[in-house]
């Protein structure tokens, strides 16, 4: 008989907590949403966020085997600020040299939420 109650419905262990990847958020004053950080990214999504007129964009690192993701969104309170949140650590060196990257780092402010 199909669908009996004795079947195992999931491989997940109840009560087990998901291991979180490190997250880093930066605020940057910029006219462009996407800042060149030396890595290559592929956009995989975008969604409207409550109480913000700017959408949030989702990206993955394109390097094979790298699982880093980032989110990019403008602040609604100050349209000149872009918040970029990285999740995870790259498993490879920076893919392209960028002399402008030093300038971007100087503009970044670490964004913390309490």
More confident residue, 75 or 105: 75
pLDDT digits (tens, 9 = 90+) for 22-46: 898 989 998 888 788 899 999 999 9
On whether residue 47 sits in a domain, the answer given is yes
For the record, the structure tokens of 106 come out as 């100087």
Of the pLDDT bands very low, low, confident and very high (cuts 50, 70, 90), residue 114 is: very low
On whether residue 4 sits in a domain, the answer given is no
On whether residue 58 sits in a domain, the answer given is yes
DSSP codes, 32-56: SS----SS-EEEEEEE--TT-SSPE
Name, in order, each residue with C-beta under 8 angstroms of 21's C-beta and a sequence gap of 6 or more: 67, 87, 88, 89
On whether residue 6 sits in a domain, the answer given is no
More confident residue, 97 or 10: 97
- List the domain range (segments joined by +) for residue 41: 23-74+81-110
Q: What is the CATH number of the domain that holds 52?
A: 2.20.25.80
Give residue 10's pLDDT.
45
**Residue 113 pLDDT > 50, yes or no?**
no
pLDDT digits (tens, 9 = 90+) for 46-103: 999 998 999 999 999 999 999 999 999 999 899 999 999 999 999 899 876 655 555 5
On whether residue 18 sits in a domain, the answer given is no
Question: What is the residue whose two structure tokens read 């950080």?
Answer: 37
Give residue 9's pLDDT.
46
């Amino acid at each position: 008989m199909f669908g009996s109650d004795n079947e195992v419905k999931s491989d997940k262990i109840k009560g087990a907590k998901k291991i979180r990847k490190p997250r880093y958020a930066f605020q940057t004053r910029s006219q462009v949403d996407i800042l060149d950080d030396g890595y290559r990214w592929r956009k995989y999504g975008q969604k409207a966020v409550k109480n913000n007129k700017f959408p949030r964009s989702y990206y993955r690192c394109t390097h094979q085997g790298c699982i880093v993701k980032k989110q990019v969104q403008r602040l609604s309170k100050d349209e000149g600020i872009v918040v970029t949140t990285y999740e995870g650590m790259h498993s490879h060196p920076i893919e392209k040299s960028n002399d402008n990257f030093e300038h971007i780092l100087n503009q970044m402010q670490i964004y913390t939420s309490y």
